Amino acid sequence: MPPPSSGGIALISMLNMMEPMFFDSVGWHSAQHIQMLAEVEKRAYADRSVWLGDSDFFEVPQEKLLSTAYAARRMADYDSLSVTPSDSIYPLNDRELADIQIETHESEETTHFSVVDKWGNAVSVTTTLNWSFGSYVTVEGYGFLLNNEMDDFSSKPGEPNSFGLIGNDANAIEPKKRMLSSMTPTILTRDGKVVLVVGAPGGSTIITTVLQVINNMVDFGMPVHDAVNVPRFHHQWRPDVIYYGPGAISHETMLVLRNMGYEFEPRYGYGEVNAISRDKIFGGWIGAPDLKTASHGAAY
Ligand code: DON
């Protein structure tokens, strides 16, 4: 529960403080167990005394208190073998709180996010710098990077770009022309209602990644988590090979396909899918991040 209760923030901050602790070998209500919780609780309640109140009257630093950086800072003086007396645990002061840097993850290259609100409105967004840190040029005073999107143009007919994609006149460089992208932010509807919001980074593999998530769900009946997290493969015409992720194609299947004339090449990294799908049974929404990556889902 959010302010004016301290419950939600204190609970989550304590769970964050407990995150690095191992409970497997700790007996329930053993001295060790009680020491672990007591040390966490003291620290959370110390900050409760100063930093929590009705947020209509007091600016509660909610984001900070809920961050893992805060938990790490708060537990910096924790020792699993000793007691820190309450007299030496102070609420963090303004400066100490300000020094806590909240970690935000932003992809170095292409980012996809999917959103659905409580009314079922959906947004599917992909944005790209092309390669990591784009052109490495930051706009002074604004702090954002310029892309290196010129690579998405076809520099010469038949000449592959950095993703191995071939292009021609349609995608030749011309003044004021925009380069051909593979970004595929997608919303699937059934009877006018959103059933899937999906997209991914991954250069040339973006399109086949989204294709396979849809194919997995619609034609193979997979729940969205499986549809996103099963391994994938990819063919982009040139080179004439099937790229495959770890575990995507069994040895036997590959033998059959090799006999048919297909060539294979292992490849890592097939986009970080971020999908949301309607739960068929309960009717709510399920966020399905690609668990192999830094993606994550959240509900508010
Ligand atoms: O728009 C495109 O197709 C490329 N700029 C995408 C590049 C990309 O996804 C790289 N990151 N994973």
Stated pTM of the model: 0.72
Give pLDDT tens digits for 200-210: 999 999 999 99
Q: Please write the tens of the pLDDT for every residue from 172-205.
A: 999 999 999 999 999 999 999 999 999 999 999 9
Per-residue pLDDT band at 221 (split at 50, 70, 90)? very high
Least confident of 6-10, 23-27, 104-108, 116-120: 104-108
Residue 200 CB burial class (10 angstroms; 0-12, 13-18, ≥19)? buried
Atom of ligand 1 nearest to the CA of 272: 12
Nearest to 72, CA basis, from 18, 9, 17: 17
Span from the CA of 52 to the centroid of ligand 1 (angstroms): 43
Instruction: Give the atom of ligand 1 at the shortest distance from the alpha carbon of 200.
Output: 9
Domains observed in the chain: 7-289 (3.60.20.40)
User: Residues lining ligand 1, CB < 6 A?
Assistant: 109-110, 128, 130, 149, 152, 181-183, 201-203, 206
Residue 101: both structure tokens together: 């840097």
Rounded to 5 degrees, φ, ψ at 60 are -75, 125
Task: Give the Cα separation of 69 and 65 in Å (integer).
Answer: 9
Sort strands 193-198 and 285-289 into parallel, antiparallel or unpaired: unpaired
Catalytic positions are: 110
What does each C-alpha distance from 193 to 2, 88, 279 come to in angstroms? 31, 57, 13
The confidence score (pLDDT) of residue 268 equals: 85
Query: How far is ligand 1, taken at its centre, from the CA of residue 132, in Å?
Result: 10
pLDDT at 292 over 90: no
pLDDT of 269 higher than 90: no
Atom of ligand 1 lying closest to residue 179 CA:
1
